[in-house]
Structure 1
């Protein structure tokens, strides 16, 4: 079931390695610019604000785009190493994107998905451009759109199902986003590499009820590491 994003969503942009941050238990892809850091905030009214490290506003600060029905993301969708804004509306699967200069990307306004899908963003083919991915939790179905409409090699596969949290990140350092699942009931982690096969920690149990899973490169080796955060007393 789709959940509304928090009233204020803070996202750090411009990290030196690919990571995922959480918003309502959905991983949000962040680009790897390394050129500037910023904080972006989106309110339900669709008002965007951003501040770069020196405290100045970015080009699209104080602009309005979206609304309470949209889920926001930040990712590089045109390959210029600068984070772009992305919106997804679960009610009808509408995707929207705005580049740094305010222009739209080539898949802006396309409809793909719906209320039962979890939207994700990640570079699944290694071209330094974020691709769109959908995960259908009730069945474990995965779909991906590369370069507007092409499909990746695992589009249509079934892996996972009810009880799993789906994430995307590069776990083997090949520059391509891999699929990761976390089952909160027993802390089981699973991973599927984009090039085929599984990672070294596939099937390991670490975490459990009350823990939120996160992914990020904490030792700068180009590979995402696993992190858990306990936000409940269970």
Structure 2
């Protein structure tokens, strides 16, 4: 195997045409995954809390139906809908990068909403009841008592979803976004005879990005849960 083709094209695989052109490659993959990861975390947190706090059956059923729909459809189909259907149906021209972030955030948020709800439900009901007995509102009890204890337990689910988002950014190639898989295909089409070396290098880059996130989350997980659970015991 001849890996010189990888070294010759490594700057393009990492950064795309930047600084002479738009950012691409692995750097754009990271940017897309960070943006969609942050958006899906906020969306999942809000929807998970809503699932735990909603008491109206109709609203809760509607929310569960929407989450089930987003979890059921492929990400690729959602990208197509946002990019091609919205301009036709509503006259909304959504940029390519925003299309990818929006699609990944909606699907990721739907999955994380159930993880957040499961984390909240795993706490003893006495936590909420004690907070309400002290005169807190349900929202105050959720924010000050329940979430500080439940969030550390949700961290593995958030990390798994963020790792999945890094890999799912490769679907952006279908609308011409120059992320890592897209630029790798361009390099392969140009050199023609080294597909194994090029896509093996791409696999290594994806592994390094996902493994780095896994190591960072493991370090955080070792520190955060101990603080979250030890502080209430100290009282």
TM-score band, normalised by shorter chain? under 0.3
Q: Which has the higher contact order (CA 8 A, sep 6+)?
A: 2
Give the TM-score, by structure 1 length. Answer: 0.19
TM (norm. structure 2) is 0.19
Structure whose residues are more often strand by fraction: 1
CA radius of gyration, larger in: 2
